[in-house]
């Protein structure tokens, strides 16, 4: 009876956490909400629509958040991420221009390879994270929905000055003429579910995907539809982000959902719990304009050449931190009991305030609660005991390595 009671209590706690997750997306926006091309399909599928970064997006469908989270881990989840910004840079000096804004080594990107990078400000803070692909004679850039307008203004401001100096680069804004969907899910490592589904429709069939490694992509066709497919995602699983002309988005979406039992639509709430288990940052929470790449544990985004040459906003601050270290670091933590969400206060064993959780929630794959925070460097070691305060009660927690759940990014076999 005691064990049964504990199990029921654990389920109730998880359900309460997921309810809180839904509430987290309910912040209202003054301006009319934008809709993706898939909005009517979300409603028809029972999607619960909520405001998110100025868009009306599905936070959950008919299935529970835990069920859709688990289905993505064991089969494949389908996400509408058309609210994210897509653009291209053309011209002889496009790489030089991009490297004047981000920390990554874009010059060193092989054709059709992609890289996570960071827009930074002059103080070394992170303006946004972005995925950049080298398309041979253009760069394909995807930015976060909540930062899309800010990023575009930032790019355009610098672009005008760059071109005025005699450089050659042009900006092509793909959104909203192009939509973006993500199919995520490893399932069986010997036959990844997302890859098996996409392989039935992609030009060249399943064999054409065997050599497509994590963070690489290409222009191809999905049945008769022209698409840009990139092997990446925000769940820690193998999967794909598929850019498609908006006029074809509904066809693509419905075709993928025809794989009943394999593919399930997934909303924002499960997307958040999946990325949290994978230790992936949420912009505006875990990384902001007040956090640097080094504090955030993202020094790996700055390649050897960029460390030697600098040339990106905030380089003096960031390169000094690489050399001398930082006073705080982003870490993960696991709670022994209770569930903490973003903004829950974090304390040391004596109760002294250290900061607050930047992300947090129940991890359905882990069957326990996890979170992220920034701690003084001296306390940022795995195994350090801390406390998290939730509704005036202190819960014991332990600093833990991330990702909390093993990632399954695809690498071709040699």
Structure tokens at 196: 């098996």
**Helices 268-277, 65-74: crossing angle, 10 deg rounding:** 50
CB contact at 8 A, 85 and 148: yes
Tell me how crowded residue 113 is: count the other CB atoms within 10 A of its CB.
16
Q: Tell me whether strands 345-347 and 368-376 are parallel, antiparallel or unpaired.
A: unpaired
Nearest to 270 by CA among 25, 45, 46, 94: 25
Annotated binding residue 96: no
How does 157-175 read in b/e, with b if 16+ C-beta sit within 10 Å? Answer: eebeebbeeebebebeebb
CA–CA dist 70, 65 (Å, integer): 9
| Residues in Cβ contact with 282 at an 8 Å cutoff, skipping those fewer than 6 apart | 272, 275, 276, 358, 359
Report the C-alpha gap between 128 and 214 in whole angstroms: 21
Which residues are part of a known binding site?
Answer: 241
Binding site residues for substrate, as ranges? 241
């Amino acid at each position: 009876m005691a064990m049964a009671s504990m199990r029921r209590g654990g389920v109730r706690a998880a359900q309460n956490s997921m309810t809180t997750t839904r509430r987290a997306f309910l912040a209202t926006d003054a301006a009319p909400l934008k809709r993706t091309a898939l909005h009517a399909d979300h409603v028809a599928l029972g999607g619960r629509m909520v405001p998110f970064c100025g868009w009306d997006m599905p936070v959950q469908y008919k299935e529970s958040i835990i069920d859709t989270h688990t289905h993505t881990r064991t089969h494949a989840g389908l996400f509408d991420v058309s609210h994210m910004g897509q653009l291209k840079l053309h011209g002889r000096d496009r790489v030089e221009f991009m490297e004047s804004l981000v920390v990554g080594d874009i010059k060193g990107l092989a054709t059709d390879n992609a890289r996570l990078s960071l827009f930074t400000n002059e103080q070394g803070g992170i303006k946004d994270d972005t995925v950049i692909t080298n398309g041979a004679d253009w760069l394909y850039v995807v930015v976060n929905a909540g930062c899309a307008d800010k990023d575009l203004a930032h790019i355009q401001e610098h672009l005008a000055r760059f071109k005025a100096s005699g450089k050659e680069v042009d900006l092509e804004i793909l959104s909203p003429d192009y939509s973006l969907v993500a199919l995520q899910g490893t399932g069986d490592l010997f036959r990844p579910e997302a890859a098996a589904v996409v392989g039935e429709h992609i030009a060249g069939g399943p064999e054409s995907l065997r050599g497509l490694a994590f963070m690489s992509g290409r222009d191809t066709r999905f049945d008769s539809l022209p698409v840009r497919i990139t092997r990446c995602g925000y769940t820690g699983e193998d999967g794909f982000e598929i850019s498609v002309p908006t006029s074809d988005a509904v066809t693509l979406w419905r075709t993928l959902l025809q794989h009943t039992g394999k593919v399930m639509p997934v909303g924002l709430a499960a997307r958040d719990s999946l990325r949290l288990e994978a230790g992936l940052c949420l912009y505006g929470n875990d990384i902001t304009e007040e956090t640097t790449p080094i504090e955030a544990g993202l020094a790996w985004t700055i390649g050897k050449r960029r460390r030697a040459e600098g040339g990106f906003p905030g380089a003096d601050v960031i390169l000094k931190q690489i050399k001398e270290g930082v006073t705080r670091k982003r870490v993960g933590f696991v709670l022994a009991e209770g569930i903490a969400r973003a903004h829950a206060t974090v304390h040391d064993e004596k109760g002294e305030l250290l900061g607050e959780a930047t992300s947090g929630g129940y991890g359905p794959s882990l069957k326990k609660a996890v979170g992220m925070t920034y701690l003084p460097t001296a306390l940022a070691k795995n195994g350090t005991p801390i406390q998290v305060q939730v509704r005036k009660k202190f819960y014991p927690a332990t600093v833990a390595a991330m990702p909390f759940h093993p990632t399954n990014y695809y690498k071709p076999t040699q």
